[in-house]
Amino acid sequence: MNFTISKQAFGNALAIVGHAVSSSSPQPYLRGIYIEASGNELVLTGSNADISIQKKVIADDENKLNIVEEGSILMEASYLNEIVKKLDADIISVEIIDGSLTRFAGSEAVFKINGMNTNDYPKIDFSKPMSSISMPASLLLEIIDQTTFAASTKETKPVLTGVNFHLADNVLKCTATDSYRLAKKTLDFKSDADFNITIPSKSLNEVRSTMLADAENIEIAQNDKKAQFWSEDMVLQTRLLDGGYPETDRLIPSEFTQKLTINRNDLIHAIDRTIFIKTDNITVDRLILSADELVLTNKSQEIGESTERLNGKYEGEPIDISFTGPYVMEACKVLHGDTVNVNFTGYMKPIIITCDDDPSVLHLILPVRTYN
Amino acid sequence: MNFTISKQAFGNALAIVGHAVSSSSPQPYLRGIYIEASGNELVLTGSNADISIQKKVIADDENKLNIVEEGSILMEASYLNEIVKKLDADIISVEIIDGSLTRFAGSEAVFKINGMNTNDYPKIDFSKPMSSISMPASLLLEIIDQTTFAASTKETKPVLTGVNFHLADNVLKCTATDSYRLAKKTLDFKSDADFNITIPSKSLNEVRSTMLADAENIEIAQNDKKAQFWSEDMVLQTRLLDGGYPETDRLIPSEFTQKLTINRNDLIHAIDRTIFIKTDNITVDRLILSADELVLTNKSQEIGESTERLNGKYEGEPIDISFTGPYVMEACKVLHGDTVNVNFTGYMKPIIITCDDDPSVLHLILPVRTYN
């Protein structure tokens, strides 16, 4: 193998593929990036137990890729990153000089680094499943931002650590819940495909950081084993979470008895001010709402209390309801619009947060029982 | 106690004093900030085992301080910071309402927070020792930047975790060493004072972050127990490190047999490129220098090797010398000038790094024995 390439283009490709590398894995090859040069393209692959990323660099005027001799290497990602980041030239050359010993050269600086045996690298099946849908990268970004935060971070119910994508009858529902709160984005989505898969949140966040900024469109292909996210020059493949995703639609009330309409940022800031007031390490905020007065309060035996009068519009009977402050704050943060609706159906009944400017999204938060 | 103050001025003062607060201390009062309001000033105090900081806020048009009633509170620093950072007004009011229960109010938001008993706060002796010197804040910043990095981070010889300040015969010597490298800044300093004290590096770094950006001049007062750094409106007091500081002058050769003159950034970058090539977790770089060729190289059995031809001027017999790369890099980084001199006195003899544009500073680095 022997090629030259723009340092920046090579560095970018390594950084993207590096997202799938387990830098602390005891398996050396999982700490490595596999690079194959053939024809007029370089294919870089990184993989760990959850995701695999393959990125192509096709020779063009910008990346200045020139393949002199085809071949492949497998090398520790951290060495590749260090060398390519710091080499003293804009165009660098990469050449196998003996077995897996690889020479990297810039202007004056030359490195001869030990690679690994390419046969050690697992054969990763990147074949594309038949069933796929396509959407703008900006829409996928919105789905990821508006749902993943509500997924569970505990491994007790693994399926809840992901986001459920359910496509049927031209409706796509994306749902995340940790059983205390739920985020759901529902979209009209014309497609022959139908599926019901749960994708790990971590994988979705890697999709977000590796491909959404640069791509126009993302194709999502899936079967019951894996999902793939394709852009023009890369694919990120993730395992799916096993187990049936809970049926959540029936948990969501459709009629409400009380409704608070309030400026989104005002509510975020009011809750944020109370975050440090914790009881048993949880910030429990309390809304006391009536036609006369809207009050957000928090009381902790140890720390003290806060009270804040809110400006907003309230409809319905008075209510006094407590909830985990950060849950409501995080839900409000991902909505797009100046005003949010906080809907109630009674004491100890789910709180539903919606936004008229962004009707595709709904957040459900379970209230907390308090004894003061 | 009852006062109003600009949120920003109060927040800044709390942040500064917070540098001396041990937020994870099991002693509640060490997690606290003591605030005293009297006359037209607020005095804030924070303290831990190593340093104590006292900061005055004297009423003026900018801080809008208005003391309605004198008094004092002692309160968890983290609560104060959260409240003052997030309150919903530019001017906030602080008032004791019952014992140590304190009311903080902005516009709509009101907090009633439990303080601690002010009698629990230790009496800190901020009395100023007789012996003191004064210097521009910019010079103290330079001393701190050019020495602290070379101090030891290991507690095996506690006195080496500090910087020794030795003033005698109108010469101030500031020295730090971890026994493998040494940084020394020597200044002509007209003063009647003479002292030989070792100040913890950590304390100096706190001086750097709390007071040097805003002050013109710093007065350093000291006795054999403590040192104090005074600016117009604050004092940082630190314990000293016990034990005689090693006599280092005799370790520093004054005549050299070989000298490499090289662009400072070129040398930094060349070493930086080799940082990832480690043997037993240490980056050992090797300079092979002669009139014909200047080469920086590094070889690790496991990772591979690097070679780089350097541009520079070399005088003296050829030399082949190995050293801990980061030590030379860090020494070069704190020098002010385009060009550095790397001076040698032979194989396994100390390397001395100086800079013609900045003759007050000298760095010594012990070479490393290698067997390849």
pLDDT digits (tens, 9 = 90+) for A293-334: 999 999 999 999 999 999 999 999 999 999 999 999 999 999
**CB-hemisphere CA count at 13 Å for A345?**
14
* Mutate which: A303, A311, A329, vs B, most B CBs within 10 A: A303
- Nearest alpha carbon to residue B116 among B66, B60, B164, B76: B76
A170 falls in which pLDDT band (50, 70, 90)?
very high
**B106 has a pLDDT exceeding 60:** yes
- Give the rounded percent of residues in chain A with a pLDDT score beyond 90: 96
Sequence-ordered list of residues with C-beta below 8 angstroms from that of B217, at least 6 positions apart, any chain: B134, B135, B136, B137, B231
Distance between B87 CA and the closest CA of chain A, angstroms:
7
Q: Cα angle vertex B129, ends B123, B135, to 5°?
A: 120
Q: At what angle do helices B325-333 and B264-274 cross, to 10 degrees?
A: 150
CB contact under 8 A, B79 and A276: yes
Interval A201-219 mean pLDDT: 97
What are phi and psi for residue A177, nearest 5 degrees? Answer: -155, 145
pLDDT at A371: 66
Out of B82, B108, B308, the one facing A276 most closely (by C-beta) is B82
Question: For the segment B160-203, what is each residue's pLDDT rounded down to a tens digit?
Answer: 999 999 999 999 999 999 999 999 999 999 999 999 999 999 99
Distance from the Cα of residue A74 to its chain's centroid: 28
- At CB < 8 Å, which residues of chain A contact B? 78-79, 82-83, 86-88, 101, 108-114, 269-270, 272-273, 275-276, 302-310
Find residue B75's DSSP bridge partners: B33
Distance between A306 CA and the closest CA of chain B, angstroms:
4
The whole-angstrom separation of Cα B162 and Cα B145 is 13
Amino acid letter, residue B189: F
The whole-angstrom separation of Cα B149 and Cα B161 is 10
Q: Cα angle vertex B366, ends B364, B371, to 5°?
A: 155
* Minimum Cα–Cα distance from B81: chain A residue: A276
The whole-angstrom separation of Cα B46 and Cα B77 is 9
pLDDT at B347: 86
Out of A113, A269, A272, the one facing B303 most closely (by C-beta) is A113
The whole-angstrom separation of Cα B145 and Cα B358 is 14
Question: For the segment A29-69, what is each residue's pLDDT rounded down to a tens digit?
Answer: 999 999 999 999 999 999 998 999 999 999 999 999 999 99
Interval B93-119 mean pLDDT: 97
Q: In what order do the strands lie in the sheet with A109-114?
A: A66-69, A2-6, A91-98, A101-105, A109-114, B304-309, B294-300, B284-289, B319-324
Average pLDDT of chain B to the nearest whole number: 96
* Minimum Cα–Cα distance from A87: chain B residue: B273
* Mutate which: B78, B88, B97, B108, vs A, most A CBs within 10 A: B108
Distance between B266 CA and the closest CA of chain A, angstroms:
10
**CB-hemisphere CA count at 13 Å for B268?**
13
Out of A114, A276, A304, the one facing B112 most closely (by C-beta) is A304
Distance from the Cα of residue B350 to its chain's centroid: 26
Token look-up 């309001």 returns B37
pLDDT at B371: 66
Interval A94-112 mean pLDDT: 97
Give the number of A-B residue pairs with CB atoms closer than 8 Å.
80
Contact predicate A220/A132, CB 8 Å: yes
pLDDT at B49: 85
Out of A86, A269, A302, the one facing B273 most closely (by C-beta) is A86
Distance between A307 CA and the closest CA of chain B, angstroms:
5
Distance between A49 CA and the closest CA of chain B, angstroms:
25
Distance from the Cα of residue A51 to its chain's centroid: 13
**B266 has a pLDDT exceeding 60:** yes
pLDDT at A49: 85
Interval B217-237 mean pLDDT: 97
Query: Which residues in A lie closer than 8 A to residue B79 (C-beta atoms)?
Result: 276, 303-304
The whole-angstrom separation of Cα A222 and Cα A343 is 36
Query: Which residues in A lie closer than 8 A to residue B309 (C-beta atoms)?
Result: 108
Query: Which residues in A lie closer than 8 A to residue B275 (C-beta atoms)?
Result: 82
The whole-angstrom separation of Cα A146 and Cα A331 is 8
- Nearest alpha carbon to residue A333 among A305, A298, A358: A358
- 3-class SS of residue B51: strand
Query: Which residues in B lie closer than 8 A to residue A101 (C-beta atoms)?
Result: 304
CA B24 to each of CA A281, B11, B28, B32: distance values in angstroms, whole numbers, following the listed order: 15, 21, 9, 11
CB contact under 8 A, B88 and A310: no
Task: State the DSSP code for B279.
Answer: B
Distance between B79 CA and the closest CA of chain A, angstroms:
7
Out of B87, B110, B269, the one facing A307 most closely (by C-beta) is B110
The whole-angstrom separation of Cα A32 and Cα A13 is 14
- At CB < 8 Å, which residues of chain B contact A? 76, 78-79, 82-83, 86-88, 101, 108-114, 269-270, 272-273, 275-276, 302-310
Out of B113, B275, B304, the one facing A304 most closely (by C-beta) is B113
